[in-house]
Structure 1
Amino acid sequence: MIDESIFPRLANCVLDSIGVKDGDAVFISGGSHEQRFLEEIGIAVARRGGQPFISAVSNDYQRRLLEACTVEQLKRMPKIMMGIAQAMDAYVIVEPYSDPTFKARFREKLQARSEGNFPVMQVIYGKPGKRWLYMGWATEEMARMYGVPLDVLERLVIGGCSVEPGLLKERCEHIMSALKGARYVHVTDPHGTDFRLNIEGRRLNPDDGVLSPEKVAVGDLGGNLPAGEVFVAPVETHGSGTIYCPLTIDDLTRGTIIKGVRLVFKDGTLMPDECTAEVNQEVLRDTIQKMVKLDVDKYGAPNALKVAELGIGLNPVIDRAIGYILTDEKIGGSVHVAFGRSDMYGGNVQSNMHWDFVTAPDATIEVEYGDGSRRLIMKDGRLLQLA
């Protein structure tokens, strides 16, 4: 069980990540298993002069709600949540499920809920958008799902949240300096990853755990805890290659582990029929198919297939992949590529999906600049010094 003595410090990390200030209305959401921590966040908001509002329900309630609701019900926009989204200044969500595995039984209903929630998500994550933060958590059930001891999960999640922001800022600035003026990024690893993306002219985004005025000025209003990456939205019509992801979690349910994923993309577009997995391949392909259908219905195009993000992990505490994307994508020495939505941080694609696929932590990154010169910035998972 997470030591409650660290709750006040963690709560202030949360507020620093979304820049809470006097007068802010902050909506705080999570599971009832986190009630004490959610309340600590609320108290911290009040001490900064803000107005906290907390919503926390049990894992059992969320399961029973999915059982009770019909698909048609879930497709309707949640009116109360829309009102909250419009009224709030900032949104905090702490991992809401103590045991996410039950969601694997509700694939069709979760697809419907994603469709119904989309207008609300636009208010939060679209333009101008709201300040937001998603924070991870650790429970016995989650540890069992990810196949690790609870103390390991706590170290990755809570320990990863506790890294000094100054260190993350330094690492982010190092990578951003290396990527400045870059046209192409070429990533390889010993497991079959070999792809090339175009990031020319795209905004570089540091995830260092603090919402700075500079981030707000360019519309970068959200983040995660644990923090620790630099990410960019590549040019959506360019980029080809293969990504090998040792393990991930189903993006639709967040309740099924998928292992040995090999993705192929061309001209910035995922090729679903060429994507494979060693374990739960049918789940991988079915989720992509469902998200494509939602996007075709909404936008008239399969936007879920578009390349959305190139990220470089930089958190020194997070040292192993378990399938929890929130921590996996921060592993030092790893690279991740996402497909789907990218308009929240400098891209041009709107989608119901944003699914990250993380390489093993021994990636090599070569950058090609506008003048044609090239430079290795990471070798076998180790950051290199800049000349």
Structure 2
Amino acid sequence: MDERIHEHARTLVEWSARIEAGDDVVVQVEEGAHDLAVAVAEQLGEKGANLVATYSSDEVTRAYLRAFDGEFEADPDYELALYEQADSVLVLKGSNNTAGSVDVPGDRRQAYATARQDIREARLDTDWVSTQHPTRAMAQQAGMAYEAYKDFIYDATLRDWAALAEEQARLKDILDAGETVRIVAEGTDLTLDITDRIAVNSAASVAYDSHNLPSGEVFTAPADTAGVVTFDVPMTVQGRRVSGAKLTFKDGVVVDWEADQGMDVLTEVIETDGGSRRLGELGIGMNRGVDRITDNILFDEKMGGTVHLALGRAYDACLPEGETGTESAVHEDLITTMGEGSRLEVDGEVVQADGTFTWE
């Protein structure tokens, strides 16, 4: 087995999830992530943690959702209890078919997601971490040779996270003290109210309220949004291609939208529920180890010189105590490039110009 897989597992268990002896850990294993699951299981065994492994597959989900005819049971107790009792959930992504559930009807997908909202909340209440094992399907989606894709994955994942956390703290401090963010780029002039919001230094560890490995971003939850944003990074959303998406906000709500491709899935996301018309996240990418777009949101949204905005659910870590942010059954990220001529302002002060931070 590639030694980098063992290093990946050690980073996940020790740095990211901070697993300790006696912790109850659920490991969700996608079909292509078997080798990483073996390495993670070994690490958990050495830590003296308790392991329950579950199997995840888009093709299995597709078969179930296409065959099911009726009302989905809301948050079945047997599954809800698993996550309510867990200390940590480790999600090992590794798809063998990135379009495995593309033909599931949108209304069926929405109904299933809505019925499982409490399960999702229970999982998010744990020290959960999501990570990516390289597969040939993901390499193909990224337009890369498999060996080159593995190098890309590990360059982005096996980093000096403590050093990156220190750098990202500079941006966190600026956002925590700020009230207004303005994003200006080609086709974009968007203003976001972040008054009293809390920015998360997402340094790939639950110790930083960060739940992705790799990570490398600072994110917060806007309270209000106005203006227009164009997302120039093509993405796969719910198994379908979306490119050239453009959203117009007024009083915090999407009032108009269009897309060069994928208008149907964009509409499905926006119309999921009341919260899906609002932004739940503003994220600023800072991981320079992610040096190209690969059509994988776990990596693409962390790329230095990009900004991503999520429609739907806001993370509690960004909210003052006692305040409720955007609630939704979805959290769908879209990305725009901060290239030449762009700028990111906080309270009128330029923090980033042409994709480069003022301190870089």
Q: TM-score, normalised by structure 1?
A: 0.84
Shift of 1:156: 4.0
Please give the root-mean-square deviation of Cα atoms over the aligned residues, in Å. 2.1
Cα deviation code 1:246-284 (max 9, x no counterpart) = 234454x2x11211111111221112xx21111122221
2:156 maps to: 160
Amino acid at match of 1:227: S
Instruction: Write the distance in 2 (CA, Å) between the matches of 1:174 and 1:103.
Output: 41
Find 2:93's aligned residue among 95, 107, 118.
Answer: 95
Amino acid at match of 2:212: N
Amino acid at match of 1:338: A
Shift of 1:75: 4.6
Shift of 1:174: 2.1
Q: 1:134 to 1:98 in 2, by over 3 A?
A: same
Find 1:246's aligned residue among 232, 239, 249.
Answer: 232
Task: Say yes or no: does 1:352 pair with 2:329.
Answer: yes
Amino acid at match of 1:203: I
The answer as to whether partners of 1:232 and 1:311 remain within 8 angstroms in 2 is yes
Secondary structure of the equivalent of 1:336? Answer: strand
Instruction: Write the distance in 2 (CA, Å) between the matches of 1:350 and 1:356.
Output: 15
- When structure 1 is superposed on structure 2, of 151-160 and 161-170 the one drifting more is 151-160
Amino acid at match of 2:266: L
Shift of 1:48: 1.4
1:8 maps to: 6
1:110 maps to: 109
Amino acid at match of 1:311: G
Cα deviation code 1:169-188 (max 9, x no counterpart) = 12211212332421111111
Instruction: Write the distance in 1 (CA, Å) between the matches of 2:144 and 2:249.
Output: 32
Secondary structure of the equivalent of 1:169? Answer: helix
- When structure 1 is superposed on structure 2, of 173-182 and 352-361 the one drifting more is 173-182
Instruction: Write the distance in 2 (CA, Å) between the matches of 1:151 and 1:247.
Output: 24
Secondary structure of the equivalent of 1:84? Answer: helix
Shift of 1:359: 0.8
Instruction: Write the distance in 2 (CA, Å) between the matches of 1:158 and 1:276.
Output: 36
The answer as to whether partners of 1:27 and 1:88 remain within 8 angstroms in 2 is yes
Instruction: Write the distance in 1 (CA, Å) between the matches of 2:328 and 2:57.
Output: 29
Cα deviation code 1:182-201 (max 9, x no counterpart) = 11111111x21111111121
Instruction: Write the distance in 2 (CA, Å) between the matches of 1:88 and 1:264.
Output: 40
Find 1:315's aligned residue among 284, 287, 312.
Answer: 287
Alignment of 1:334-353 (within 5 A): 334-347=306-319, 348-353=325-330
Shift of 1:68: 3.3
Amino acid at match of 1:43: E
The answer as to whether partners of 2:176 and 2:197 remain within 8 angstroms in 1 is no
Find 1:367's aligned residue among 340, 346, 350.
Answer: 346
Instruction: Write the distance in 1 (CA, Å) between the matches of 2:138 and 2:130.
Output: 17
Cα deviation code 1:304-354 (max 9, x no counterpart) = 111211111000111222332111110101111112111432241211011
Shift of 1:29: 0.5
2:43 maps to: 44
Instruction: Write the distance in 1 (CA, Å) between the matches of 2:234 and 2:77.
Output: 33
Q: Which has the higher helix share?
A: 1
Q: 1:153 to 1:245 in 2, by over 3 A?
A: farther
Please, which runs of 5 or more residues in structure 2 have no aligned partner? 320-324
Q: 1:375 to 1:60 in 2, by over 3 A?
A: closer
Alignment of 1:1-387 (within 5 A): 4-15=2-13, 16-57=15-56, 60-72=59-71, 74-95=72-93, 97-106=95-104, 107-125=106-124, 129-151=125-147, 153-189=149-185, 191-212=186-207, 215=208, 220=209, 222-235=210-223, 238-249=224-235, 251=237, 253=238, 255-271=239-255, 274-289=256-271, 291-292=272-273, 302-347=274-319, 348-362=325-339, 363-368=342-347, 374-385=348-359
The answer as to whether partners of 1:242 and 1:264 remain within 8 angstroms in 2 is yes
The answer as to whether partners of 1:13 and 1:209 remain within 8 angstroms in 2 is no
Instruction: Write the distance in 1 (CA, Å) between the matches of 2:84 and 2:240.
Output: 33
1:298 maps to: none
Instruction: Write the distance in 2 (CA, Å) between the matches of 1:229 and 1:240.
Output: 23
The answer as to whether partners of 2:351 and 2:358 remain within 8 angstroms in 1 is yes
Q: 1:323 to 1:36 in 2, by over 3 A?
A: closer
Q: 1:79 to 1:39 in 2, by over 3 A?
A: farther
Instruction: Write the distance in 1 (CA, Å) between the matches of 2:121 and 2:48.
Output: 27
Instruction: Write the distance in 2 (CA, Å) between the matches of 1:71 and 1:153.
Output: 41
Cα deviation code 1:43-92 (max 9, x no counterpart) = 211211211111225554444333433353x4543433212112211101
The answer as to whether partners of 1:137 and 1:158 remain within 8 angstroms in 2 is no
Q: 1:321 to 1:245 in 2, by over 3 A?
A: farther
The answer as to whether partners of 1:156 and 1:327 remain within 8 angstroms in 2 is no
Amino acid at match of 1:159: D
Secondary structure of the equivalent of 2:116? Answer: helix
Instruction: Write the distance in 2 (CA, Å) between the matches of 1:61 and 1:211.
Output: 30
Q: 1:269 to 1:9 in 2, by over 3 A?
A: same
Secondary structure of the equivalent of 1:104? Answer: coil
The answer as to whether partners of 1:71 and 1:112 remain within 8 angstroms in 2 is no
